[in-house]
Structure 1
Amino acid sequence: MTTGTPARSLRWMAEGHAYFLSHLKAVGDEELRGSSRLPGWSGRHLLSHVGHNAKALGRLAHWAATGEPTPMYPSPDARAEEIESGAAWPVPRLRAFVEAEHDRLAAALDRLTDPKWDAQVVTAQGRTVPARTIPWLRSREVWIHACDLPSGGDFSAFPEDFADALIEDALTRRRTAQGLRLQVRATDRDRRTDDSPAVVEGSAADLARWLTGRGTSVRLHTTTGAPLPELPPWL
């Protein structure tokens, strides 16, 4: 059994939240009423999602702490319903909501003792994972969605160790869900995703951006000359 606080993921989570807020503060209320960088979502939809995601992960933290099963969402449709409902709130309320719910989640995780980090919880996708996974799940949300804000952040600002972990996670998801068979190699790292020959090459930032469905770069290419597959947004 692996015990102990997942310090690295908690660091990513705190840094990602600060990064998200720094870009959120640079976006005016009127701009948030318009489109985000995610197709079909306004800035208010994005804020509603980020806030409700923290609230949902807080339920998993409660599950780990108490042993009382508290799923992220009470029904398969609840996630979408929460996002849509929150998107109708005034922007100032959404700004405050994002901060308050993240702070509640951070406080709940801070109260977990070492044995509780190994408690098994179930994600919204039905995966059973240890509670130590919760900070990683939140880290992905705040870093990636900072880049979805209007005039938001960029993957090039991600910490190197986080970007590397994100590439591995996203590639695993793409292989599982979509049968993506391509290997990748980050040209600014001395490493590959596995022992197979690299097929898609580019910087870690460009690979992470592409694998999460946030677009490609002219610097990203396949070693065979074949066009890059178009990937839909993930998260």
Structure 2
Amino acid sequence: METWLKDLVTQIDDATARLIATVSGLTDKQIGEPSLLPGWARGHVLTHIARAAEAHRNLLEAARNGTDIPAYASQDARDTAIENGASRPVAEQLADIERTAAVFRAAVHTVPDDAWTTSVTILHLEPFPASQVVLRKLVELELHHVDLNAGYRPADWPVTFKPLELPEPMRSQAADRLSWFSAR
């Protein structure tokens, strides 16, 4: 495994552990409280993190196999899955995040070196190289950890995350989180 990939996988593992620590401190009632994302409770954010891990795994499988496996069946299927999972108790949310993180991590190790340049896409986004899937997973974890509104802030992002050169739309999404807290 190349150094860039090892580094990102380590950062993903660390980000997942921080997220799990935060979520472990929440109650079932707190899962239903508002996140920083309009219209979404914390349970929506957590379910989205798990479903996104599955979507990212699908993209890695597509790159590995050279096939067209969609990240999500459709926008409606994605939205329905998030809505249906949002009210689950914290223990179920944690188990889902842990399970999907492990499945994603296993998928990363199956992608051959020459497949990382394969183009993949998520729903309406422009195609991007499979190598960005791993970066997108890390960004999802760090940004949505902030979105939980459970005490984790952009100031808590590790020094390894802050200097990453993020392509759009990830760069703007990270800048949004920073601006939310600099205005306070």
TM-score norm. by structure 1 comes to 0.69
Shift, 1:74, TM fit: 1.5
Corresponding position of 2:124: 125
Counterparts of 1:153-172 in structure 2, within 5 Å, are 153-165=152-164, 169=168
User: How far apart are the structure 2 equivalents of 1:168 and 1:58?
Assistant: 20
Q: Give the SS at the match of 1:78.
A: helix
Structure 2: any 5+ residue segments left out of the alignment?
none
CA RMSD in angstroms comes to 2.5
Matches within 5 A, 1:60-79: 60-79=59-78
1:190 maps to which residue? Answer: none
Give the TM-score normalised by structure 2. Answer: 0.85
The structure that is helix-richer by fraction is 2
Structure 1 match to 2:84: 85
How far 1:101 sits from its partner (Å)? 0.7
Q: Which residue of 2 aligns with 1:196?
A: none
SS where residue 83 of structure 1 aligns? helix
Bigger mean CA offset, 158-167 vs 79-88 = 158-167
Question: CA contact under 8 A between 1:27 and 1:150: conserved in structure 2?
Answer: no
Q: Which residue of 1 aligns with 2:176?
A: 211
Report how many aligned residue pairs link the two structures: 183
Q: How far is the alpha carbon of 1:129 from its aligned partner? A: 1.6
Partner of 2:6: 7
SS in 2 for 1:7: helix
Could you tell me how far 1:172 is from its partner in structure 2? 5.4
Structure 1: which amino acid aligns with 2:40?
Answer: W
Gaps of 5+ in 1: 175-207, 220-235
Give percent identity, aligned residues only: 25
CA spacing shift, 1:111–1:27, aligned 2, 3 Å: same
Aligned residue number for residue 146 of structure 1: 145
| Higher RCO by CA contacts (8 Å cutoff, separation 6 or greater) | 2
Aligned to 1:36: 35
Amino acid at match of 2:176: L
Helix, strand or coil for the counterpart of 1:215? helix
Q: SS of the residue aligned with 2:39? A: coil
Cα distance, 1:39 vs structure 2: 2.4
**Looking at CA atoms only, which structure, 1 or 2, has the larger radius of gyration?**
1
